[in-house]
Each structure stands twice: as C-alpha cells, then as structure tokens.
Amino acid sequence: MSLTNRILISMVAGILIGSLLNLMMHSSGLSDAFRVAVDDYLIHGLLDFVGRIFVASLKLLVVPLVLVSLICGSSSLGDSARMGPIAVKTLVFYLGTTAVAISLALVFAVFISPGSNVQLTSEALFAAKEAPPLIDVLVNIFPSNPFNALAEGKMLQIIVFALLFGYAISHAGEAGRRIASFFRDMEVIVMKMVGIMMELAPYGVFALLAKLFSTMGISAIVDLAAYFLTVLAVLLVHALVVYSLLLKFFSGLSPRILMTKMRSVWAFAFSTASSGATLPITLRTVERKMGVHNSVAGFTVPLGATINMDGTAIMQGVATVFIAQVYGVDLSMTDFVTVILTATLASIGTAAVPGVGLITLAMVLEQAGLPVEGIGLIIGVDRLLDMVRTAVNVTGDATVSAIVGKSENQLDEQVWLNPKADLEPNNDNPIEQEMPTA
Ligand code: ASP
C-alpha cells in the first residue's frame, strides 16, 4: 500500500479511536480507576509520547532544510537575473490570495450572520497578548547574527541570510561552484531524512489525532455550530474553488492533479496544525511530486509557510464579523477595508505553529475597534478549525509555487503528470538529475 494511503488510513483511525476513547472517558459504566489508567497510560502516556516525538522530529528538519534548499535555489538563480522577478511575483500572489481569502470570509460571514443569535455569556474572557508594532516586525526580518537566527528558528531571518549567501555563491567563481556542490549534496541528504521521517508518519499522525480527539470537548462545537460551519465552508470554498481557478487561469495546470498530490501534506498539516512542522513535507511534495524546480520551490515554499496564511485570514475574517454581531457592533465599509488590510498583514506576522492565528486576531479586532475579549467566545472550537486552516495554508503555498514555477519554466511537466512521481525507485530525485554536476 502506498505511503499516502497508509497515512490517510492512520488519520481516519486516529480520529475514530480518539473519538471512541472520548466517549469511553465520559461514559458512566466504567470504573474511575480504569478511566484514570487509560488517561494516564494511554492518552497522556503512549499517545502523547509518540505524538510529541513525531512533531519534534519534523521540526528538527525545518531549519536545515530551509537553509540548504534556499541556498541551492538562490545559487542556481543568482546569475540569471530571475531572482527579483520571482520574489516579486511570489509576494504578489501570497498577499493577493490572502486578501481574496479574507474578503470571501467577510462576504460569507455577513451573509450567513453566524453571531446574530448568540447570547453574550460571562465566559468571554481573553487576555490578549500585545502584538509587536509593524515596523519592528519588518526590521526583524534582517538578521544581525545568522547563527542566532538558525538556533532560534527565525524563519524570515534564515530566508534573508540564505538568499544572500546563495546569491554570493553564484558570483564567487570557482570557490562558489565548490560550495554550491556541497550544498546540493546536503540537500539530497536532508531530503532523504525527510523521506525517512515520512515512513514514520502513519504512527505519528495516528498518535496525534487519537490523543486530540480523545481529549477534545465536543459541546463547544455544538454551541458555536454557526460560526464553526461558516469558517469551514469558506475554507473549503477557498481551497477547492479559488485555488483551482487561480491554478487553471495562471498556469493552465490541472487542479485535480494538485489536490491528489497534496493528500499526504494535508494529513501532516491537519494532525500537527502547524505549517512550520509540515514544511519539510510540503517542500518535498512540491519539488518531487509536482516537479517544481528547487530554484523556485526552495524560495516559495519556506516563504509561504512563514507569511502566507489564507486559512488563518479566513478564520480571522469570520471571527471579526461574528464577534461584532455578538457584541451588537455595526461594521462600516471602512472597518471592512481595515480588516482586509490588517488580516493580510497579520497573516505575515502569524507564526506557523498551532493557535497563533488567534493571537494575531487580537490585532485585527483592535484595528476594527472591537473588544479583544471576544476571542474568548471562539477559543473552544479553535483547535479543530486550526487543523483545517493549516491544511488550507499549505495548499496556498503549493498552489502559488506551482504557478510561479510554471511561469518561470521551472516546472517539469513530466513529473507533474506522473501520479507515481517520488515513488519510483529510479526517479529518486528528478530535480537533482537536471542539475549540472560541478
Ligand atoms: N496553525 C496555523 C499554521 O501553522 C497558524 C494559525 O492559524 O494559528 O499555519
């Protein structure tokens, strides 16, 4: 059975077993001692243990992979004068798709009106963390110490350093060629590590989801069904309709192929709720299954995982309208425009880890003059939505990478059209085969 299918089966099994455990833990027929034992040894024991090791091993690959991939990509592009246009195109697409996502969310939320029948309860307590000023966010992109950036996993700083390093390699003659070949070898090795990790994914995905569903409160979802379903509907429309139209229109590539190739990435995004932890898998899929050359994917995917969060923006759009409705505040046209702008910027500042979208939502609410405590209303259903919106976030990264790759002639259509790309033994690294040997 293919790895993708094994991962998808373990995902479904994790959800089912987790839900069964949840029911079991709340049923009155079992003794307290048994329940405590299941909770201690299985849910917060074995499942927690396996899940945490799995996430840690994914995160372990992120910094080396981003560094090495970007250096390879930018060093092969450095002297072709394409770096600038690729960067501009990618940024325009990332910001543009986020603005579309949030606008769609606002339209749906105003139309469906999920907050109109919700009574304000005293539970709405949320202590917002202060969001850093925008200027600091921008200045912080530039590292003063690259080793510090690497050690702390500061993604945008790593991206800036790697781009500069790769660019310098491409202009450094013989020394540059030697170092470039070292990094190309490193990339093959780090990608191999990603492949090894993927083999363990069925266990990790199962453990994460079984633990999560066994401890998740379902009642909050029932209470907030209108909000929950509105966010879910917009996420699905954006992922399935908007991305498909964009891909078809800007590149002529088949959306169905993109969706099929994304299945295992979705399982990672859904179970970890972190586009950062999913990054190694997204990058491997975009390069090896979709055939986008490393010179584009090495830049677009890490950048996307860091700044492109369409799913998060959708949640923020619906949440803003929902909170305004619950508190009985009318939003003006100016408020809507403010929300679109701030949520697009907030998406850049949202770290690619679970739950951060809720923190940057505070910034959006403040700009729209809404009470930040409103976040307390939706916190109960956020984890499940976080999982789905993370899957949307990574789909956006892959879609834009394919569009930019195709437009730059850096997408190998044979790999794109091959449903088994990445699985064939002799097709281990189609990208690498095209690379000039030093
Ligand atoms: N979990 C999301 C991600 O990693 C961010 C968020 O919306 O909280 O993409």
**What is the SS3 string spanning the chain?**
CCHHHHHHHHHHHHHHHHHHHHHHHHCCCCCHHHHHHHHHHHHHHHHHHHHHHHHHHHHHHHHHHHHHHHHHHHHHHHHHCCHHHHHHHHHHHHHHHHHHHHHHHHHHHHHHCCCCCCCCCCCCCCCCCCCCCHHHHHHCCCCCCHHHHHHHCCHHHHHHHHHHHHHHHHCCHHHHHHHHHHHHHHHHHHHHHHHHHHHHHHHHHHHHHHHHHHHCCCHHHHHCHHHHHHHHHHHHHHHHHHHHHHHHHHHCCCHHHHHHHCHHHHHHHHHHCCHHHHHHHHHHHHHHHCCECHHHHHHHHHHHHHHCCHHHHHHHHHHHHHHHHHCCCCCCHHHHHHHHHHHHHHHHHCCCCCCHHHHHHHHHHHHCCCCHHHHHHHHHHHHHHHHHHHHHHHHHHHHHHHHHHHHCCCECHHHHHCCCCCCCHHHCCHHHHHCCCC
173-215 vs 3-26: helix crossing angle, rounded to 10: 30
CA 81 to ligand 1 center in whole angstroms: 33
Which of 238, 310, 350, 397 most suits a substitution to test ligand 1, by most atoms within 8 Å of the C-beta? 350
- Does the domain formed by 3-434 have CATH 1.10.3860.10? yes
CA 77 to ligand 1 center in whole angstroms: 30
The residue whose CA has the least distance to atom 6 of ligand 1 is: 357
Q: State both tokens at 238.
A: 């954006």
pLDDT, position 123: 53
pLDDT, position 137: 72
Which of 98, 234, 265, 275 most suits a substitution to test ligand 1, by most atoms within 8 Å of the C-beta? 275
Of residues 356 and 255, which shows the higher confidence score?
255
Atom of ligand 1 nearest to the CA of 315: 7
CA 327 to ligand 1 center in whole angstroms: 26
pLDDT, position 413: 93
Count of CA atoms in the C-beta half-sphere (13 A) of 405: 31
CA 426 to ligand 1 center in whole angstroms: 36
Residue 132 neighbours by CB under 8 Å, 6+ apart: 349
pLDDT, position 135: 80
Q: What is the mean pLDDT of residues 196-210?
A: 92
Checking if the pLDDT of 429 tops 90, the result is no
- Ligand 1 shell residues, CB under 6 Å: 273-276, 309, 312, 350, 352-357, 386, 389-390, 393
CA 352 to ligand 1 center in whole angstroms: 5
CA 163 to ligand 1 center in whole angstroms: 25
Checking if the pLDDT of 218 tops 90, the result is no
For the stretch 137-184, pLDDT in tens is: 778 889 999 999 999 988 889 989 998 999 999 999 999 999 999 999
Which of 390, 394, 397 most suits a substitution to test ligand 1, by most atoms within 8 Å of the C-beta? 390
Q: What is the mean pLDDT of residues 330-346?
A: 89
299-333: burial string, b at 16+ Cβ within 10 Å, e else = bbbbbbbbbbbbbbbbbbbbbbbbbbbbeeeebee
pLDDT, position 126: 54
For the stretch 251-285, pLDDT in tens is: 999 999 999 999 999 999 999 999 999 999 999 99
Atom of ligand 1 nearest to the CA of 359: 8
- Across 3-17, 181-195, 211-225, least confident range: 211-225
CA 108 to ligand 1 center in whole angstroms: 21
CA 387 to ligand 1 center in whole angstroms: 8
pLDDT band at 130 (very low <50, low <70, confident <90, very high): low
Atom of ligand 1 nearest to the CA of 352: 4
Q: State both tokens at 89.
A: 């195109």
Q: State both tokens at 364.
A: 């959006």
Mean pLDDT of the residues in the chain: 88
What is the rounded CA–CA span in Å between residue 270 and residue 82?
34
For the stretch 98-115, pLDDT in tens is: 999 999 999 999 999 998
CA 112 to ligand 1 center in whole angstroms: 24
The residue whose CA has the least distance to atom 7 of ligand 1 is: 357
Atom of ligand 1 nearest to the CA of 356: 8
Checking if the pLDDT of 431 tops 80, the result is no
pLDDT, position 428: 43
CA 273 to ligand 1 center in whole angstroms: 6
Of residues 430 and 9, which shows the higher confidence score?
9
pLDDT, position 438: 35
Q: Residue 262 in contact with residue 282, Cβ under 8 Å?
A: no
CA 231 to ligand 1 center in whole angstroms: 14
Atom of ligand 1 nearest to the CA of 353: 4
Checking if the pLDDT of 427 tops 70, the result is no
Residue spans of the domains in the chain: they are: 3-434
Atom of ligand 1 nearest to the CA of 350: 5
Of residues 149 and 128, which shows the higher confidence score?
149
Which of 59, 312, 363 most suits a substitution to test ligand 1, by most atoms within 8 Å of the C-beta? 312
Checking if the pLDDT of 422 tops 90, the result is no
pLDDT, position 106: 96
Q: What percent of the chain has pLDDT over 90?
A: 57
For the stretch 34-71, pLDDT in tens is: 888 888 899 999 999 999 999 999 889 989 998 998 89
Checking if the pLDDT of 432 tops 60, the result is no
